[in-house]
Structure 1
Amino acid sequence: MITSIFEKTKPVNFIILLVFLFLFYWSVQFYLLDFALDDIEIVPSLGILSLLLFSVFIVDFVVKRNKLTRTNSFAILFFTLLFVVFPETLIDNKAIFTSFFLLLAMRRLLSIKSLKNIKLKIFDAGLWICISSIFYEWALLYLLLVFAAIFIYEPKNIRNWLVIISVGFCFFMILYGILVLLDKPSFIQNHYDFAIDYDAILPLKWWSSLKMSLFAIVNMGLAFSTFINLNKAGMGKVIVMRLIAFSFVIGLVVNVLVTSDNNNAVMITFFPSVVFIVNYLESIKKPKILELVLIASIVVPIIVFVTKL
């Protein structure tokens, strides 16, 4: 039954998932965090929630436009379910903003494969990444993904590499101008200090987070399975999947660097994770097994969340 609903792209799928995410967001605020209505600023919260819901459409657009999966709604289903697995990420507004702008950057970055307007796409992707760094300074590491895309698609054109410099200059000038108007010019120096909490990244502490560790291990296994199944696919899709895998690795690194006792930044890894999950599901040939996997993927996270309430 679940397979029949989400194996095709239908407007009702968006309605179901958006309503669920809307209700789940407020459940986290009121029940998991035990906030009172007076503790929540309604207008800013609605703005952040709108950004979160719009992210679902961006994920669906990027997946469909770049043919990262088949024509189904599994991507937005699992993008929504990952919030149930990691409800704490909805507490961190910075994670929501960062993830949103990184999705916009990924949209432009993956479109470079068409080899049209490459410089414009590099500029857009770099600018979105720079904007995301306003919330998490370590998000600038995603610029490595831009360098990787240039190296793969058109490395001999020196102007492509110079675009990154122009992006940094434009972003700095605009940001500094805004900060001067707001009388907060010290923000750049204070925010972009790239301080590392070494106690937070010790292996023993990292592996003590069982859920995050399992998430990383499972996705690495799914990525390995995806690349094995892509042997018969065109080289173009293999390259795109390599970029997505690289973005997941960068996301894990950023998640470690910006967190200490929590994993709120894990949301920035949801998109590549979703791509790997759906590609694995599409490799399952038996409908009954696929149905059981989907049911378990929905029921188990919800049960775990309910037990926390």
Structure 2
Amino acid sequence: MNVVFANFFILLALRRLISLQSQKASKEKIFDASFWILVASLFHFWSILYLILVFISIIAHVIGDYRNWLLPFIAFFAIVILFAMYSLLFNADVIAYITNGVQMNFSIDYFTNNYQNAALSIYATVALVFVFSMVTTLSSRPLQLHASFKKLLFAFFIAVGIYVISANKSNDLLLFTIAPLAMITTAHIEMPQQKLNQELALGVLILCSLFCFFSQL
């Protein structure tokens, strides 16, 4: 359940970062994105890696104003204050919470059956196909969408990084990759190409998704 809440707040942050391209209310968007990412890190600590995407967005759109670089740190102190108040009110063990959160484990050996292994393998293969397609066709896409697509790619790779380093590893952590991968896949299907290729790509994706779902039951 913590992963679901963390992913929800990451989606809120991602929405603000993608809309930063308009350069309207950029400071509010940077603060909001940083704030939601830090809230997500309270549910799953390594969600904090998405702050990398905040700084990438600043570099891409509003690097000229030094105040934009301070906003993620202001959001950090706001979360620290709120979390400190929560720990005092409910007598939470902050040290134990942080210690448990920062643990890392790079091994992928949590499978309880071959179906889980197969589900991960299929999902990884499908993800690589569409991500590779996005990378190789990015130059042929509309110039105004390049920044958004690059953010989606970075968001996907950060999600993969969270999966790799998280201590309590399971296929549930792949939830972080679903939103950016879904948008990347949609962009692939919308690309001008033969209708047969579009239908094959969509059909393979649906079949693999159904297999991954039912193999976890």
Give TM-score scaled by structure 2 length. Answer: 0.84
Alignment of 1:224 with 2:132, yes or no, is yes
Q: Pick which of 212-221 and 102-111 moved more.
A: 212-221
State the percentage of identical aligned residues: 27
Which of 96, 103, 114 matches 1:190?
96
Q: Any conservation in 1 of the 2:30–2:71 contact (CA below 8 Å)?
A: yes
Q: Cα 1:124–1:301, aligned 2, differ >3 Å: closer, same or farther?
A: closer
Aligned to 1:267: 175
Alignment of 1:247 with 2:138, yes or no, is no
Task: Extract structure 1 runs of 4+ deviating beyond 6 A.
Answer: none
What is the CA-CA distance between 1:288 and the residue it aligns to? 4.3
Q: Any conservation in 2 of the 1:106–1:125 contact (CA below 8 Å)?
A: yes
AA paired with 2:96? N
Which of 102, 126, 147 matches 2:55?
147
Give the Cα separation in 1 of the matches to 2:127 and 2:216. Answer: 24
Q: Cα 1:213–1:253, aligned 2, differ >3 Å: closer, same or farther?
A: farther
Aligned to 2:40: 132
Give SS of 1:190's match.
helix
What is the CA-CA distance between 1:292 and the residue it aligns to? 4.5
Which of 2, 19, 31 matches 1:123?
31
Report 1:1-309 matches (<5 A): 93-184=1-92, 186-187=93-94, 189-193=95-99, 194-198=102-106, 200=107, 209-260=117-168, 262-283=170-191, 285-299=193-207, 301-302=209-210, 305-306=213-214
Give the Cα separation in 2 of the matches to 1:166 and 1:116. Answer: 20
What is the CA-CA distance between 1:142 and the residue it aligns to? 0.5
Give TM-score scaled by structure 1 length. Answer: 0.61
Aligned to 2:113: none
Q: Cα 1:153–1:212, aligned 2, differ >3 Å: closer, same or farther?
A: same
What is the CA-CA distance between 1:263 and the residue it aligns to? 2.1
Instruction: Specify every segment of 5 or more residues in structure 2 that has no aligned partner in the other structure, as ranges.
Output: 110-115
What is the CA-CA distance between 1:170 and the residue it aligns to? 0.7
AA paired with 1:271? A
RMSD: 2.5
Q: Any conservation in 2 of the 1:201–1:257 contact (CA below 8 Å)?
A: no
What is the CA-CA distance between 1:293 and the residue it aligns to? 4.1
Instruction: Specify every segment of 5 or more residues in structure 1 that has no aligned partner in the other structure, as ranges.
Output: 1-92, 203-207
Give SS of 1:134's match.
helix
